[in-house]
Copies of this chain bind each other. A is one copy, B any other.
Amino acid sequence: MSTLIVPAQVPSVADDCEQLQKAFKGWGTNEGLIISILAHRNAAQRKLIRQTYAETYGEDLLKALEKELTNDFERLVLLWTLDPPERDAFLANEAAKRWKSSNLVLVEIACTRSSHELLLARQAYHTRFKRSLEEDVAYHTTGDFRKLLVPLVSSYRYSGDEVNMTLAKSEAKILHEKIGDKACNHDDVIRILTTRSKAQINATLNQYKNAFGVDLNKDLEADPKDEFLAILGATVKCLTYPEKYFEETLRLAINKLGTDEGALTRVIVTRAEFDMKIIKDEYQKRNSVPLDRAIAKDTKGDYEKLLLALIGHEDA
């Protein structure tokens, strides 16, 4: 489901490094050359390029890129070049340090990644920041938000498909009761959403709809101004319909007065190699406009070119 286009004949790593170095040399930077290489290499290939570049030129490729590039394009290239677990660790650290209740990045990383991917991100976090992710999240949050976010980022959910229907029924009832009582911060609500497997939560939401005739997420939207309800809703969406969550994030980022480049960049770099094809389909279905056209209308220059290349635009 990746939108990444890797050529059938990939040049040698040494060649890629030489070309990148050429792109940095002399007056001005050859952004087109950088895009033509990095936008068409997968995570393993980029990792090898970074390693070989450091060995050959004695400088971290990320540092070299940082010196040459600026603004949105710089951030996009840097995030894209990072290995996915390292990138998640980096994004989660930024989000934890600047935490606001409107910031959904932690929920997104904790809930849309597989258990194994989240674990790799936590390991990369140790290596890079010499602390644990849950430690920083716990330190920078308070109250109900801490109560939800710390177990979310610490979770190592069972990934199997097995579902306990009796449990799904009883926990759907608990969720309905607590939401009805406006006790969405209740221990049991947090427990169910932060520890059950995605398959089990999905079964519980189905039972919720069967028994009470409405989507749980509709019930959570009762008070659109309540930021805790919003983050709970995002949790449920990320766990059960990540592609819809990402479509919505892209839609809001693009439709804003002045594009939200932070969200646009984040979703494109983190999903390009995973489920971007499905997200593009969702986007077209929901907006009656293809994602690449929407992005082309809203962005420009090298930033636009790289975004389009990553979502599989043929000309890029």
Contacts and interface: CB of A to CB of B under 8 A. Distances in A.
Contacts of A130: 158, 160, 162
Given A138-B191, A139-B191, A191-B139, A131 B154 contact: no
What are the nearest 5 A-B pairs in CB distance? Answer: A154-B154, A135-B195, A138-B191, A132-B158, A138-B195
B132 A197 contact: yes
A172 to B, nearest CB: 15
A90 interface: no
A187 interface: yes
A194 B197 CA distance: 23
Given A123-B156, A131-B197, A151-B154, 20 more contacts: A126-B156, A130-B158, A132-B155, A132-B157, A132-B158, A132-B195, A134-B154, A134-B156, A134-B195, A135-B196, A135-B197, A139-B191, A139-B195, A142-B187, A143-B187, A146-B187, A150-B151, A154-B154, A154-B155, A154-B156
Interface of A: 119, 122-123, 126, 130-132, 134-135, 138-139, 142-143, 146, 150-151, 154-160, 162, 187, 191, 194-197
A119 B156 CA distance: 9
A160 B132 CA distance: 10
Contacts of A158: 126, 130-132, 135
A138 B119 CA distance: 20
B195 A122 contact: no
Contacts of A131: 158, 197
Tell me how many chains of this kind the complex includes. 2
Contacts of A187: 142-143, 146
Contacts of A197: 131-132, 135
B156 A122 contact: yes
B132 A156 contact: yes
A142 B186 CA distance: 12
A126 B196 contact: no
14 contacts: A119-B119, A126-B156, A130-B158, A130-B160, A130-B162, A131-B197, A132-B156, A134-B151, A134-B194, A135-B157, A138-B194, A142-B187, A151-B154, A154-B154
Nearest to A125: B158
Contacts of A162: 130
A160 B127 CA distance: 9
A239 B170 CA distance: 37
Contact of A195 (B142, B150, B155, B191): B150
A158 B128 CA distance: 11
Nearest to A161: B130
A196 B130 CA distance: 11
A146 B147 CA distance: 12
